[in-house]
Amino acid sequence: MGIGKRLREARQSRNLKQDELAKLIGVTASAIANYENDISHPKEVVLYKLFEVLEVEPNFIFQDVVSIKKEAPSPTEEKLLQKVRKLNATGRKKADEYITDLSENPKYTEPRPLPDEVSKDIARELENITGKKRKTTILK
């Protein structure tokens, strides 16, 4: 599978027709159709213009071509991503600000366990202080 499907998805999410996108990046509408149908692939300079105009990261376009083991998004994350893709640049910036604020507030974040080394060090220190061995689970 090539990058065509993702290019089409990104173009459609920006509500652009093939000829409109073509004009914005300086190629023909048939070139866009060829990219989307995996008949040909854009040159590097054209790819950069596509990333910019479509406001997508290279990882989005190449995710079906490059196999990198990663955690799949949950259904909730997928829904959020689809909503973000509908936003214009101003909306995306505002969403990023909201998410940054939420993710920095302990009230809205999940506790993360400390690395095993740190947990063991703390358990040893507690044992030294109290003289009792404890089974501890320490959250950050």
Number of domains in the chain: 3
State the DSSP code for 73. P
Give 113's DSSP letter.
B
pLDDT tier, 115 (very low <50, low <70, confident <90, very high otherwise): low
User: What tens digit of pLDDT does each residue of 20-53 get?
Assistant: 999 999 999 999 999 999 999 999 999 999 999 9
In contact, 10 and 47? CB cutoff 8 Å: no
- Give, in order, the Cα–Cα distances in Å from 107 to each of 73, 96, 100, 138: 23, 18, 13, 18
Does residue 97 form part of some domain? yes
Lowest mean pLDDT among 13-22, 41-50, 119-128: 119-128
Residues 45 and 13 in one domain: yes
* CATH number where 52 lies: 1.10.260.40
| Residue-level pLDDT at 113 | 63
**Average pLDDT, stretch 108-128?**
68
Q: Would you say 133 and 120 are in contact if contact means Cβ atoms under 8 Å apart?
A: no
Count Cβ neighbours within 10 Å for each residue of 64-94 and write b for 16 or more, e otherwise: eeeeeeeeeeeeeeeeeeeeebeeeeeeeee
Position 8 in a domain: yes
Which residue range(s) make up the domain with 48? 4-62
**pLDDT (0 to 100) of residue 68:** 54
Residue 67, in any domain of the structure: no
Residue 68 domain-assigned (yes or no): no
pLDDT of residue 15 exceeding 90, the answer is yes
Alpha-carbon distance of 15 to 88, in angstroms, equals 11
pLDDT tens-place string over residues 56-92:
988 888 887 766 566 777 788 888 889 999 999 999 9
